[in-house]
Amino acid sequence: MTRAIMLQGTGSDVGKTVLVAGLCRLFANRGVRVRPFKPQNMSNNAAVAEDGGEIGRAQWLQSLASRVPSSVHMNPVLLKPQSETGSQIIVQGKVWGQAKGRDYQALKPQLLGAVLESFATMRAGTDLVIVEGAGSPAEINLRRGDIANMGFATRANVPVVLVGDIDRGGVIASLVGTYHILPEEDRRMIRGYLINKFRGDVSLFAEGIEAIGSFTGWHCHGVVPWLKAAVRLPAEDSVVLERLARGSSGALKVAVPVLSRIANFDDLDPLRAEPDVDLVFVRAGERLPADAALVVLPGSKSTIGDLLDLREQGWDRDIAAHVRRGGRVIGICGGYQMLGHMVHDPLGIEGSVTETPGLGLLDIETEMAPEKTLRNSTAVSKEYDVPLSGYEIHLGVTRGRDCERPSAMIDGRPDGAVSPDGRIMGTYLHGLFSSDSYRAKLLASFGLSGERMNYRANVDAALDEVAAELESVLDPAWLDGLVA
């Protein structure tokens, strides 16, 4: 029988995603057939699975760690926030509907069947499934109809290991508090806990482990140090943007406005990893740096909403001044749509605002349409004549005179647009900067020469480093028992 274990956190952003990815790579390196699974994810960072359909980028990374093709069944329910209160609901890779938070709570029981069906699919022909929870099981106000944490674990009979984040403080209270707040049905699913993001001498926490054990009876399966290699892995949640280092000493400054509905911002990770690049994420209330040579407008879950936000922040004026100074702009997906004269949404797909002017930097217009483009793609850069690979996830059709100068040929068809002077470029292709040859040509156009790193090999090496670190600090008997 296929074994399974579920990592649940005492809160959000405790490091579950990286731990699951690291464990998947650890067992894959041992020759174990392992797959990741997350019943419900909330993220605008999505990927196109190899069997078609959308999943969270985290599950795509975890499939890479497992050395298996990605599948929509690895993340059967994906919530993509479109506003402060509502989300698009993706079920087994396809758009299922939309709902506000309160309405979604009533819909969850309808989605349990799809979750359990996908879990059964993941277990077939596999030795071990490593499941990632969402948020915290102690959110008892959301327990009824839960499909993300204990609701799934109890229904699927999957044992749970809690993850506590010691870096944020209060880890003893969070673990002990979780023990006391959970009903007995949920508590008996827990088989121990992990302490994550520890800095310093682990022996200093010995009394903490003893205290947690005395209150809960739970066994500590390991104290995980701050995993330095994790910074080289794609980030899943936009909360990570709040703690990314604001710039570096790189020679080329690239500015990225952090839009309120930013999506697929891991497109920027390859640039952030380049030592010659100073990637600056510009938050609300801040100005775009005047000395930036390049501005990148990233993807958005709501192009019209983010255009309105961009103007409210005054970034439209900053971008116009940047262009007047001779600066360059690249827009990806929703960012590409913003570069045109107008964005139309006659069916109200994104909300009540049915059209808004764009930045007017490209002679194009976009009209939203209900059919979503969703595919993995191979392409060729028209500007640099180098291969590209990535994926497309977008609503809308873009037309206009500047489309006669496409930025790329995707699967043999023209994509994107370029301004007559070549300084403004837009594309629907996510993963543009992951192409080492494209990135090298782009940086060379700004006067940066030299060898460029192999980005995908760097991610793969980081997964191996995380796996090796986990193997050195986790209880070997527990690890062996997961596949015994």
Enzyme catalytic residues: 333, 430
| Exposed/middle/buried for residue 228 (C-beta within 10 Å: 0-12, 13-18, 19+) | exposed
128-132 vs 3-9, strand pairing mode: parallel
Task: Round to whole Å and give the CA distance between 147 and 197.
Answer: 27
Listing from the earlier edge strand, what are the strands of the sheet with 94-100? 40-42, 77-81, 86-91, 94-100
Say which amino acid occupies 306.
D
What are residue 425's phi and psi, to 5 degrees?
Answer: -140, 140
Non-local (6+) Cβ contacts of 70 within 8 A are: 47, 49, 50, 51, 55, 59, 60, 63, 64
The end-to-end CA distance of the chain, in Å, is 11
Which of 68, 67, 108 is closest to 91 using CA atoms?
A: 108
CA atoms within 13 A on the CB side of 305: 18
DSSP assignment string, 115-147: HHHHHHHHHTT-SEEEEE--S-TT-GGG-TT--
Answer yes or no: are the C-beta atoms of 137 and 8 closer than 8 Å.
yes
Paired residues of 35 in beta bridges = 129
Would you say 288 and 329 are in contact if contact means Cβ atoms under 8 Å apart?
no
- Report the 10 Å Cβ neighbour count for 453: 14
